[in-house]
Structure formats: structure tokens, C-alpha cells
Amino acid sequence: MSELKAHLSKYLRMASRGSSILVKDRHEPIAQIGPPQVEAVSWRERMARQGRLRLGTQKWAALKISKLDRVVDIQASLRAVREDPSEVRRR
Amino acid sequence: MKYVDASAVLRVLFSEPGPSVPLVPGGRVVASQLVEIEAFRAVDRERLIGSLDDDQTATKRKELADLLAMLDLMPIDNAAIEGAKRSFAVNVRALDAIHVASAEILAAEAQGDPLEFWTHDSRQAIAARSRGLTVCGSH
């Protein structure tokens, strides 16, 4: 402890360079000084933190899809809105 | 990791027959935010041409919003625009180029997690395949 107090800046410098310093009080370990732990984050979390990805719940079991009583050609509508939305004629 | 375009989202939403993106626990599904616009526009079109009544439209819009909230969505940022501007080996629609560029960025970020590009649109599939992406759900 006394050694640490006397040379705190030296030990902090060592820690910042990767050393791990065990602090003892009367031969009993009481603390440890080391470099900050690098948090392991997934690529998704990293992109989300950078504002490059909006994370969804991904809780597929909660998805409820109703059945329609008729066939709807939704792919044709998608093609239309992608290519030529003007071909929609109002009824 | 599965990347979905709007055709893949709409196949799930309308319970269309044929292969569709597997939505299973632990399976990550990602998309460009462009999907939000395309899918809502397509549902609106079905209402405009009379294929969906007001009740069905409201239900499908709600279900679509719920489905989109489950996806990881990538904004159309500068990187996506730059990627979409690059030359393709085939003729590509602008919106298809945005999907392909977004998928390429996600594939590069997710090293070690292979990306499958799910689409049921043949032109979109060709665009994705032309850039070397693994395409599912299309011939």
C-alpha cells in the first residue's frame, strides 16, 4: 500500500500498458490494478452503437399472421411499386 | 444470417406458398430499411386495387409493423449508397442495388456468419448473384 501511494503514477502507467498490479495490505491482496477490460461486443451490437443498425427483437415465436379469405398477388404489387406505381387504377 | 428483401417479407406476411425465409429461434434476420417502404407501399396498393378491404388492410399493416420490429434493420446510409452506385455486371434497378449493397456491408461486418440473401424477385436475385451473394428463395 505504501509503495503504491508513493509511486501511484508509475503503477498507473504500467497498468495502462497492460501490466496487472496486485495491491496488498499487510501481505493480504486487497485490490488489483490493470488495463481497462475490452468489452467483447458482437458485430450487431457494434453496428447498433454506431447507429448503423436498428436491432429488432428477433422473437419469431411471437409473430402472428392472419389468413386471408382470398388470394392476393402481393408479389405483383411489389413489382408494381418497384417498377411502375402509376399503373394502379383507382376504383 | 438471413438478409431479406421486401418480397421475402411479404411472402411471410401473406402466407404465400413456396420456400420462405426460415424464422426460427436463434436465427438472425436482417434487412435494409428500404423494406419498410416497399412492403407498406405494396400493401397499400392491394387496398387501392380492391384486393384488401379496410379491415384486412389495417390487420396486414399491423402485422407488417410487428414483423418489421423483429428484424434488424440497416439504414440507407452513405456506405449503402456508395455500394449501390458501383457498377454491376448486369442491369440492376436502383432499389435492388440498395438491397445488394446493404447485404454486402452486413456480410463484411459479420465475418464468420455467412449471409443468405432471401428474395422471390428474379431480377433482385440476379442482381445479388451478380455480386457473389448466396441467393435463396428464387430460381
Under the banding of pLDDT at 50, 70 and 90, the label for residue A32 is confident
Nearest 5 degrees, angle CA B93-CA B96-CA B98?
115
* A48 sits in which H/E element: helix A43-49
Look at the block and give the residue holding cell 496486485.
A22
* Average confidence score pLDDT of chain A: 86
C-alpha grid cell for residue B85?
452506385
Closest residue in chain A to residue B37, using alpha carbons only: A81
Least confident span in A82-86, B22-26, B134-138: A82-86
Under the banding of pLDDT at 50, 70 and 90, the label for residue A16 is confident
| Cα separation, A21 vs A31, whole angstroms | 8
What letter represents residue B108's amino acid?
A
What percent of chain B shows pLDDT beyond 90? 95
B121-132 mean pLDDT: 96
| Whether this model's pTM surpasses 0.90 | no
Residue, of B14 and A24, whose pLDDT is higher:
B14
pLDDT single digits (tens) B48-100: 999 999 999 999 999 999 999 999 999 999 999 999 999 999 999 999 999 99
B67 touches chain A (CB under 8 A): yes
Model pLDDT, residue B66 = 97
| Cα separation, A89 vs A86, whole angstroms | 8
Model pLDDT, residue A38 = 62
Residue A34 has pLDDT above 90, yes or no: no
Q: What are phi and psi of B89, to 5 degrees?
A: -80, -10
ipTM exceeding the 0.85 mark: yes
Which residues lie closer than 8 Å to B114 by C-beta, 6 or more apart? B1, B107, B134
Q: Which residues share a beta bridge with B32?
A: B74
- The DSSP letter of residue A61 is G
Model pLDDT, residue A86 = 62
Interface of A with B in 6-65 (CB under 8 A): 43-44, 46-47, 51-65
Model pLDDT, residue B52 = 97
Asked if A78 lies within 8 A of B10 by C-beta distance, the reply is: yes
